Structure 1
């Protein structure tokens, strides 16, 4: 008996963007992985903390969630980060990953 049931094992050439920037109060360093996996949502990795998440335009609107995900101490800093993501992440149409025939 196999120990694990493989759900997927995909190989994909992806575009990755590394960007560092500052706001009035803090510095950010992110890696953004643009992939066809995960409903087309980019994988955003904070290079300082290693925390990562999948983000789409609707996720960016939730300032409280961004604040929690990236452990940002101040709501205004989270709002500033949301503004950056609004201009840096593409709009993503909803893609159904699972086929229920």
Structure 2
């Protein structure tokens, strides 16, 4: 077996928030991870859909980003966007 080549192997402290809320059309079960990586952006995991994205304020302002990343309708994405703007 060949030797494994690591690009990096770091351990970092994180702050994780688990939150669940009901929107107009669907339930959101999220894990939101903060670390010193990704230029201060958050890793947002949608536990029900097994989707995640690295999100900062600039991403929330980008049209269609949440719809694409989490496979959401415009209405559902707006509810998620509104919640995430409170965090970042």
The structure whose Rg is larger is 1
Which TM-score applies when normalising by structure 1? 0.78
Contact 1:19/1:30 (<8 A) preserved: yes
Deviation at 1:63, TM superposition (A): 3.9
In the TM superposition, what are the counterparts of 1:1-101 in structure 2 within 5 Å?
A: 3-72=3-72, 74-88=73-87, 90=88
Tell me, which stretches of 5 or more residues in structure 2 are unaligned?
Answer: none
Query: What residue ranges of structure 1 are gaps of 5+ in the alignment?
Result: 91-101
Structure with higher strand content: 2
Which secondary structure state, in structure 1, belongs to the residue aligned with residue 32 of structure 2? strand
How many residues are aligned here?
88
The Cα RMSD (Å) is 1.7
Deviations 1:8-61 (A, max 9, x none): 111112110000001111110000010111222111100101111100001011
